[in-house]
Each structure stands twice: as C-alpha cells, then as structure tokens.
C-alpha cells in the first residue's frame, strides 16, 4: 500500500503542473471503493486551485469543492498531456486544460470522492479523526507523548491506527521502532519520555528521507511521472526476516500484528 511518503511524492510530481487547470471532461471506469458522489459532468468547468495532502489522502482543491483521492492498496496516479488510451485498470480520467489526471488501480481499493467543503459529512468521516501530520509543526514531542500515554495497545498498532500520528504505515513503523530501540509489542503508554523523543525524531527523519528517495517501491509504486522510489534500498529491518541485523548481527525476526507483518531485531529492540 502506498504510505505517506509515496502519497507526498505523488503530490509533488504533479501538483504544480495541474494548478490553475480547468476541468474539460471526467470519465469513470469500474466502481471504486467509494462512489464519486456526483455526476462526472458536474465537474466540467471547475478550476484546480492546488493539491494538498492529509495523511494518505490527496486533496485537490477546486474553485468549487474538493476532490479527495486515495490510492488504496495498489493505485497510482499519472498526469500528462499524452497518456495512452485508458486500460482495464484505469478507473478515473480527468482531462484538464493542462493535462490528464488518471487513477490506475488494479485492485480497486482506491477512491476519488467529491465533497463540497471541509465541513461536508464525507470529508469529516474520512479525514476528521486523523492524527497529527508527522512532517508538520503540529507534531511535537510533547503532543506525541501525550497521545501515547492514552493508549494501552502495542506501540506498532498505535502507530498504524493513525489517530495519534497519521501516515506512519507498516514499512515506516517497523523502521522507526528499530531506530528507536523499541520492541513493537510494547504497550504505548509504558514508553518513557526519553524513548518517545527518540521515536519522534526517528519518525520524522525516516519520512523525510523516504520522500527525498522518491518513496518505497516494493512492487509497482510510481509517481505521477512514472518514476519509481528507492527507499527500499535503505530499510534496515522491513522484509528482512532471517537476515543479520545491521547493528548487532542477530537475525531479524517477523511476527504478525493485526494481520500485518512486523519486522524487528530481538536484541536491539529489547525495551
């Protein structure tokens, strides 16, 4: 699944090029996770103002309303002036005066949803309960520690839940906990202040590095210009079960938490 860095990389790859464009036509393919919520023709004539990100959602601000875009499990966006004809997995095409925006999603867990504004019930349902943005000034050590103190669940599960800090998906949660020396099964509310501060800085630095590396491409992620990411070359524990820990040489272990694989070093992550 594309995580926060991949969504941010996607945003950066087309946001400037589509800003100011007028929508000329919209084509919907097979149904996605959620309906568009309006007749596609109703979008014609609207203008794209800017493209933002909230967690794993892209918010395309229009002069009237917004488009909420989620890439789902395997979706990707393309933007260009000469895209090929739509294929079987191309489920949303928006032709604008500056190029064509297309969502390709083989598994159809992604979505494009039209909302009237940030007080729209659908906007609030999808984005209203998201936690702090980890790359924003709102994300501080103090607020992070306060959020963790309220949660008794394992720290890995709390990071994935997204209600304390948003967008720290499976790859980056495993990597951040390794850097912080925290066992992924430890209860979030038992982590001390000093260790929380280390985890805080690990999260921020990891996500920044991943954005700079173009995201992580494990299978088929690419940005809106078709470029793949390279952060997978920098991971230290994720998907490295049985390999030696880069710090102590012990074998990396894998366990299941909430139906997701967690990778960690049993020696370096004792606390």
Q: Which of 143, 151, 204, 260 is catalytic?
A: 260
> How many Å separate Cα 44 from the centre of its chain?
28
Which one of the listed residues 2, 5, 154, 184 is annotated catalytic? Answer: 2
Catalytic residue among 56, 102, 108, 240: 56
Task: For residue 216, name the pLDDT band (cuts at 50, 70, 90).
Answer: low
Q: Tell whether the model's pLDDT for residue 210 goes beyond 60.
A: yes
pLDDT category of residue 214 using cuts at 50, 70 and 90: low
Q: Is 106 a catalytic residue?
A: no
Chain mean pLDDT for the chain: 91
Instruction: Write out pLDDT tens, residues 165-186.
Output: 998 989 889 999 999 999 999 9
Of 10-14, 63-67, 73-77, 130-134, the range with the lowest mean pLDDT is 73-77
Global pTM value: 0.88
What pLDDT, on a 0 to 100 scale, did the predictor assign at position 169? 86
Residue with tokens 């464009």: 21
pLDDT at 122: 96
- Answer yes or no: is pLDDT of 137 > 60: yes
The pLDDT, as a whole number, for residue 230 is 46
Question: Which pLDDT value is given to residue 217?
Answer: 42
- Catalytic residue, chosen from 3, 6, 8, 175, is 3
Let me know if 260 is a catalytic residue: yes
- Percentage of the chain exceeding pLDDT 90: 77
- Statement: residue 227 has pLDDT above 60: no
Residue 3 falls in the annotated catalytic set: yes
Mean pLDDT to the nearest integer, 112-122: 97
Is the predicted pLDDT of residue 271 greater than 80, yes or no? no
Segment among 31-35, 197-201, 214-218, 261-265 with least mean pLDDT: 214-218
Region 210-227: mean pLDDT is 57
Domains and CATH numbers, the chain: 4-127 (3.20.190.10), 141-264 (1.10.8.50)
The question of whether 134 is a catalytic residue gets the answer no
Q: What is the rounded average pLDDT of the residues 32-53? A: 96
């Amino acid at each position: 699944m594309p995580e926060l860095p991949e969504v941010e990389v996607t945003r950066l790859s087309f946001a400037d090029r589509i800003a100011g464009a007028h929508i000329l036509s919209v084509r919907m393919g097979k149904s996605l996770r959620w309906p568009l919520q309006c007749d596609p023709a109703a979008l014609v004539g609207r203008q794209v103002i800017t493209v933002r990100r909230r967690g794993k959602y892209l918010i395309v601000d229009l002069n009237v309303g917004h488009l909420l875009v989620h890439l789902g499990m395997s979706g990707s966006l393309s933007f260009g002036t000469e895209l090929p004809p739509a294929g079987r997995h191309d489920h949303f095409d928006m032709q604008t005066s500056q190029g064509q925006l297309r969502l390709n999603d083989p598994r159809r867990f992604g979505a494009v949803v039209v909302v009237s504004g940030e007080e729209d019930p659908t906007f609030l349902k999808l984005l209203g309960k998201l936690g702090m943005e980890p790359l924003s000034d709102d994300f501080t050590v103090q607020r992070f520690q306060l959020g963790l103190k309220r949660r008794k669940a394992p720290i890995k599960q709390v990071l994935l839940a997204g209600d304390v800090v948003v967008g720290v998906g499976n790859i980056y949660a495993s990597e951040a906990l390794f850097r912080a020396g925290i066992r992924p099964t430890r209860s979030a509310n038992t982590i001390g202040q000093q260790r929380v501060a280390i985890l805080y800085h690990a999260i921020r630095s990891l996500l920044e590095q991943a954005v700079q590396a173009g995201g992580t491409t494990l299978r088929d992620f690419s940005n809106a210009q078709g470029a793949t990411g390279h952060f997978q070359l920098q991971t230290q524990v994720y998907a490295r079960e049985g390999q030696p820990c880069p710090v102590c040489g012990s074998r990396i272990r894998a366990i299941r938490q909430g139906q997701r694989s967690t990778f960690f070093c049993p020696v370096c992550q004792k606390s």
